Amino acid sequence: MVTSEPHTLQEGIEQAGHRLTYPRQAILDLVAQHPDGFTAEEVCAQLPQVGRATVYRTVKLLLDLGLVCKMTGPDGAPRYTLSVAGHHHHTLCVRCGAAADFQRCTVDLILQTLRAETAGVILGHRMEVYVLCPRCLEQEETTSSGSPT
Amino acid sequence: MVTSEPHTLQEGIEQAGHRLTYPRQAILDLVAQHPDGFTAEEVCAQLPQVGRATVYRTVKLLLDLGLVCKMTGPDGAPRYTLSVAGHHHHTLCVRCGAAADFQRCTVDLILQTLRAETAGVILGHRMEVYVLCPRCLEQEETTSSGSPT
DNA sequence: ACCGTGGTTGATACTCCGTCTCAATAATGC
DNA sequence: GCATTATTGAGACGGAGTATCAACCACGGT
Ligand SMILES: [Zn+2]
Ligand SMILES: [Zn+2]
Ligand SMILES: [Zn+2]
Ligand SMILES: [Zn+2]
């Protein structure tokens, strides 16, 4: 079992037969430091030495390799986060964007019902739960009671 | 019960105190003819006499009034469809874009679990089911068995 | 019917996000 | 070290939506 489940982004890239170049390494490092998720533009901003095209390409590569997940904010803004194994979805903080996984996907129940009702074929689904994360919630409360401008 | 539940887009617009102008009327008519859903650009294309800005503004207006729903395709492309009363979601054909409602949203079950687990606050959710609609499914089968190029 | 007010329009410029192009560059195998 | 090939990055490009702003039109008051 040499080339099984990659445990790091680097491994994933190399196992897929892609070169681990400097720009990629930089992006991977940055991404790994943001378990809460990130946007492509955030990466661009923090790595001015790396070209925008390369950032987008690398994110897409990670996406194709299943190493990161693509999420959609309330306004449709795309956001990415490190992927975990297995079927899962995310909660997304509407304020800071922090993402968290949740595995329990009882969507299957809904799909079963749908499958029985529709003559078409179900291919997949998307689900996102929008939250105010504990940290932002706390801030919100502090602000509203503290300094009522 | 004079100004209750609007039954047409026109009524909805007027009840909200907005003028029912010609451009709007044209957009509303077109939208009403596309129960399967539509994109803003489709409307633009079919109504060259109406400015793009107006199309986008009107769609946004309908959205704000809750008369249409905004969906997100697998690739993130926005699409709109006439709204129905009550909490619901949509199935979206990945091929032709046709949208259909489904009311049964057992997402609540998931949310209950999440609520118990998280210290944050759940504000909302998004869910879309991607399908190959009956019509497209049929075509697919016909094509693959009929002309194997 | 006329006028004034304010909502509405639409051409255009602009922003944002992401992709494409293509010559220069870096990694790899020999 | 050299050829081969993947990768890079500056900049052009494209699609989607918004901002601007002068012209316009619907409507209420007279
Ligand atoms: Zn937060
Ligand atoms: Zn699921
Ligand atoms: Zn279809
Ligand atoms: Zn729901």
* CA of residue B65 to C1' of nucleotide C1, angstroms: 36
pLDDT at B39 over 80: yes
Alpha-carbon span B116 to B138, nearest angstrom: 44
Min CA distance, A22 vs chain B (Å)?
A: 29
Distance A74 CA to ligand 1 centre (A): 14
Which pLDDT score is estimated for A5?
A: 59
Residue A149 confidence (pLDDT): 40
Q: Which of A15-29, B67-81, B105-119 has the lowest mean pLDDT?
A: B105-119
> What separation in Å is there between the alpha carbon of B115 and the centre of ligand 1?
16
Cross-chain residue pair B114–A120, CB shorter than 8 Å: no
pLDDT computed for residue A70 by the predictor: 93
Interface test with B, best of A70, A101, A110, A133 (most B CBs within 10 A): A110
Query: Which residues in A lie closer than 8 A to residue B121 (C-beta atoms)?
Result: 131-132, 137
SS3 string, chain A, reads CCCCCCCCHHHHHHHCCCCCCHHHHHHHHHHHCCCCCECHHHHHHHCCCCCHHHHHHHHHHHHHCCCEEEEECCCCCEEEEECCCCCCEEEEECCCCCEEEECCCCHHHHHHHHHHHCCCEEEEEEEEEEEECHHHHHHHHHHHHHCCC
User: How many Å apart are A17 CA and D1 C1'?
Assistant: 25
Whole domain around residue B138: which residue ranges?
9-146
- Whether residues A102 and B124 touch (CB distance < 8 A) is answered with no
Q: Is the CB of B51 under 7 A from strand C?
A: yes
B19 sits within 7 Å of strand D by its CB: yes
Residue B69 clears pLDDT 80, i.e. is over it: yes
- Say if A33 falls within a structural domain: yes
Question: Bigger pLDDT: B112 or B6?
Answer: B112
Fill in the amino acid letter for B87.
H
Q: Which of A1-15, B6-20, B81-95, B112-126 has the lowest mean pLDDT?
A: A1-15
- Tell me if B3 is assigned to some domain: no
Mean pLDDT for all residues in chain B: 86
Residue B52 beta carbon within 7 A of nucleic strand C: yes
pLDDT given for residue B6 in this prediction: 62
**Percent share of chain B, pLDDT over 90:** 54
User: What pLDDT, on a 0 to 100 scale, did the predictor assign at position A1?
Assistant: 44
- The answer to whether residue A1 sits within a structural domain is no
Stretch among A103-112, A114-123, B91-100, B115-124 having the lowest mean pLDDT: A103-112
Residue B59 lies inside a defined structural domain of this protein: yes
Contact between the CB of B20 and strand D at under 7 Å: yes
Q: Looking at residue A6, what is its pLDDT?
A: 62
- Give the total number of structural domains in chain B: 1
The CATH number of residue B51's host domain is 1.10.10.10
Is it the case that residue B148 has pLDDT exceeding 70?
no
Judge whether B31 lies within some domain: yes
Judge whether B5 and B68 are in contact, CB under 8 Å.
no
Kindly determine whether the C-beta of residue B142 is less than 7 Å away from any atom of nucleic acid strand D. no
Look up residue B35 and give its DSSP letter.
Answer: T
Regions of chain A short of the pLDDT cut 50: 1-3, 147-149
B3 CA, D28 C1': Å apart = 22
**Ligand 4 being an ion, which residues bring their Cβ within 5 A of it?**
B 105, 107
Chain D footprint bases within 7 A of protein beta carbons? 6-11, 15-20, 25-27
Q: pTM for the complete prediction?
A: 0.84
Of residues A96 and B110, more confidence is placed in: A96
Distances (CA, A) of A137 to A35, A94, A99, A140: 19, 11, 15, 5
Instruction: With respect to residue A123, please indicate whether it lies within any of the assigned structural domains.
Output: yes
In a domain, B1, yes or no: no
Is A24 within a domain?
yes
Q: For residue A59, give how far its alpha carbon lies from the nearest alpha carbon of chain B (Å).
A: 15
